[in-house]
A = this chain, B = another copy of it.
Amino acid sequence: MRALVKEAPGPGMVLKDVARPAIGPSDVLIRVRMAGICGTDGHIWNWDKWAQSRIHPPLIVGHEFMGYVAEVGPAVRSVAVGDRVSAEGHISCGTCLLCRTGQAYICEHVQIIGVDRDGCFAEFISMPEQNVWKLDPAVPDTWAAVFDPLGNAVHTVMAAGVSTKSVVITGVGSIGLMAIPVARAAGATKVIAVDVNPDKLKLASRLGADLVFNAASPDLARDVLEATNGDGADVLLEMSGSGSAINLGLSLVRNGGRAALLGLPSDNVNLNLAENIIFKGLTVLGINGRKMFETWYQTQALVVAGRVDLAPIITHVEPMAEFRRCFELLKEGKAAKIVMTVTE
Q: Is the CB of A292 within 8 A of B189?
A: no
The complex places the Cα of A61 from the Cα of B151 at a distance, in Å, of 44
Interface residues of A (CB under 8 A from B): 25-26, 75, 77-78, 94-98, 100-103, 105-108, 130, 154, 158, 161-166, 185-187, 189-190, 210, 229, 231, 246, 254-256, 261-262, 264-266, 268-274, 277-288, 291-294, 296-298, 301-302, 304-305, 307
The complex places the Cα of A57 from the Cα of B294 at a distance, in Å, of 38
Q: Is the CB of B286 within 8 A of A278?
A: yes
Q: Please tell me how many copies of the chain the complex holds.
A: 4
Query: Which residues of chain B have C-beta atoms less than 8 A from A279's C-beta?
Result: 106, 264, 286, 288
26 CB-based A-B contacts, threshold 8 Å: A25-B25, A97-B231, A98-B255, A100-B296, A101-B102, A101-B297, A102-B102, A103-B255, A106-B255, A107-B255, A164-B298, A164-B302, A185-B189, A264-B278, A264-B279, A268-B272, A271-B273, A277-B284, A278-B286, A278-B287, A280-B288, A281-B287, A281-B288, A282-B285, A283-B283, A284-B284
Of A102, A161, A265, A287, the most chain B CB neighbours within 10 A belong to A102
Known: A98-B256, A189-B305, A301-B189. A105 touches B265 (CB 8 A): no
Query: Which residues of chain B have C-beta atoms less than 8 A from A301's C-beta?
Result: 164-166, 189-190
Q: Is the CB of B280 within 8 A of A274?
A: no
Query: Which residues of chain B have C-beta atoms less than 8 A from A284's C-beta?
Result: 277, 283-286
Query: Which residues of chain B have C-beta atoms less than 8 A from A25's C-beta?
Result: 25, 75
